[in-house]
Amino acid sequence: MTAYTEQCSRSLVTSPAGVLEYLTGQINCWFRVQQLKHQVARERRQLLLLSDAELRDLGISREDAVAEAHRGDLPSDRLRKHL
């Protein structure tokens, strides 16, 4: 089970109010994940704008920065904090 499903899953109840609450929670969780994806992608793109000296200060090589910028996943620790 992923952090997303752990944080966003709720037991479905049969009443209309319960179903609405469940769907609202799922939609809100989806929007938070999308927002985090956008933020992480922006941060990774910003790595490419750093000079080699700035990357060295961070202990990151240019190759590491390029590899990080092309990753598509979300850091699980940030996903857990964000949800």
Angle between helical axes of 62-69 and 16-49 (0-180°, round to 10): 150
Asked if residue 14 has pLDDT above 90, the reply is no
Cα Rg, the chain, nearest whole Å: 18
Q: What local confidence, expressed as pLDDT, does residue 37 receive?
A: 94
Q: What local confidence, expressed as pLDDT, does residue 64 receive?
A: 95
Asked if residue 7 has pLDDT above 60, the reply is no
Place 4 in a pLDDT band, splitting at 50, 70 and 90: low
- Residue of 5 and 27 predicted with greater confidence: 27
Rounded average pLDDT over 26-36:
93
